[in-house]
Amino acid sequence: MGDSPAMTIGEAARVTGVGIHTLRYYEKQDLLRVPRTANGQRRFGPSELASVRFIAQLRKTGMPIGTIREYAEMVRSGTATADASLQLLENHRDDVLRHLDEQKRYLTAIRLKIAAYRAEIQPDEPAGDGAPT
């Protein structure tokens, strides 16, 4: 049990946290290729699990399905397109970086709003709970 080298889709869902339906969907979208047993059941080995986990990360950082598919295709075609896939990943890193900066800016704006708000509704300043401002 655990990462033994060929899990069913249910086990893969449990260990990756991705959801059976979603795993099948990702395969149908060609983000992922999963080997089958003689009677057609999917078997997730370590490399498939690694793919799933990486795809999940790309998704959580906002990469659209279509772009992940492009990436997956390039990775599959091997060294011929290695530069391109690296490039894609670097672009995504930069996107994430920009997103982070943007979020930080919004965060300070929200904090200012909170501070203004607080000042407005209770001009005196009790101790507070130590939470970040």
Partner DNA sequence: CCTTGACCTAGACCGCGCTCTAGGGTCGAT
Partner DNA sequence: ATCGACCCTAGAGCGCGGTCTAGGTCAAGG
Binding site for a copy of itself (CB under 8 A): 54, 57-58, 60-61, 79, 82-83, 85-86, 89-90, 92-93, 96-97, 99-100, 102-104, 106-107, 109-111, 113-114, 117-118, 120-121, 131-132
23/108 Cα distance (integer angstroms): 37
Strand partners, 44: 7
Task: Tell the smallest beta-carbon distance from residue 53 to DNA (Å).
Answer: 14
Considering the rule CB under 7 A, would residue 11 count as an interface residue with DNA? yes
At residue 88, what is the residue type?
L
Interface with DNA (CB under 7 A), residue total 20
23, 60 contact by CB (below 8 A) = no
Question: 33 vs 118, which CB is nearer to DNA?
Answer: 33
Task: Tell the smallest beta-carbon distance from residue 114 to DNA (Å).
Answer: 21
Considering the rule CB under 7 A, would residue 39 count as an interface residue with DNA? yes
Q: Which of residues 42-81 bind DNA (CB under 7 A)?
A: 42, 59, 64-66
Task: Tell the smallest beta-carbon distance from residue 17 to a copy of itself (Å).
Answer: 14
Of how many residues is the chain composed?
A: 133
Q: 6: which DSSP letter?
A: -
Two tokens, residue 101: 């900066």
Runs of H (alpha helix) within 1-130: 9-16, 20-28, 46-60, 65-76, 82-121
> What's the N-to-C CA distance of the chain in angstroms?
46
Q: Which residues bind DNA (CB under 7 A)?
A: 8-11, 19-22, 24-25, 36, 38-42, 59, 64-66
